[in-house]
Copies of this chain bind each other. A is one copy, B any other.
Amino acid sequence: MTLNSTFTKELEVVENLIKKDLNKENIISGLYKYIFKSSGKKMRARLSLISSSIFKHKDRYKLAAIIELLHTATLVHDDVVDNSPTRRGNKSVNSIWTNSHGVLIGDYIYSKAFILMVEIGNKKILKELANATNDISQGELIQLDAINNIDITLNKLKKISYYKTGRLFEASAKTGALLSKINKSYIDNITECAKNLGILFQIKDDLLDYSKNMGLGKPSFQDLREGKVTYPFFFAFKNASLEDQKKLKGFLGTKKLNEKKAKSLIDDLSGIKKTQQLAEKYHIKTIECAKRIKNKSVCKEMIELANVAINREK
């Protein structure tokens, strides 16, 4: 399964647009270049391009760049929040420079995205993206509150996956569609589809953290070490005897984690299996929504993304 090369080529245009920022201050241009040196999957920017592909508005590359900037700003801040040493296989900003640099260059990238949004000047797009960035910060804050919290509910976990990840997927597709000024049913269908895709993406992310895979560019069992209760832990805990619950609690937030023991217990208690089932549920949902999109080419792309999301190994 490979991603459509038309959009991959378009993403290069988007990347060049992003890289065009030429700040005169060395400290700023140095940080900025470092951050955008390694290019990620750009799933959200791709989604934006797919959604805006029906009617090729002159600002669709700029909009995709905005989406990528917003996403990158949240990643840079996330790395500060998680005290993460790496990002996409490279050292994180906070580990090469300091947390302060991470906070401030994140703010710089955020506000740069807003400057570009204002240039596009579409009020509905501005509204959606302002709301989405606010929701993302809410998702992250709720997740902070969920650290070492074994009493977290499934609903709260779902809210985290939606706000933290689904929300920007949703906004990427919605604003792409809004730019194209296609009919309401197109906007609604692709928005709903992208929302489910984003949630699927986050569930898969939670799963990948429990499977040793260095290709992800971050150490495995990071969530567990940080005390983050995600789906695999949650389902295992629900299913555990008092004795096993005690063991699980012992794993949560431990820097010196016995990965093998933790993995095996969570596996035995169906934590992985149930998370996979949840991922499959969202995969089906995404495909169902995709099929409601009347434009055949966009429909096909969205199904492709859903398949990529569920099958990804990194």
Contacts and interface: CB of A to CB of B under 8 A. Distances in A.
Interface string A20-49: 000101111001000000000000000000
A294 to B, nearest CB: 30
A123 interface: yes
A269 to B, nearest CB: 28
Interface in A134-148: 134, 136-138, 140-142, 144-145
Given A81-B104, A99-B80, A104-B77, A112 B134 contact: yes
Contacts of A121: 123
Contacts of A136: 107
A104 B25 contact: no
Contact of A104 (B26, B28, B126, B144): B144
Interface in A92-144: 98-101, 103-108, 110-112, 114-115, 117-118, 121, 123, 126-127, 130-131, 133-134, 136-138, 140-142, 144
B27 A104 contact: no
Overall SS of chain A's interface? helix
Interface in A150-164: none
A199 B103 CA distance: 24
Nearest to A74: B107
Contact of A126 (B28, B126, B134, B140): B126
Contact of A141 (B25, B130, B137): B25
B118 A134 contact: no
Contacts of A138: 23, 25, 28, 108
10 contacts: A77-B103, A80-B99, A81-B99, A81-B103, A98-B144, A104-B137, A108-B141, A110-B110, A115-B127, A117-B130
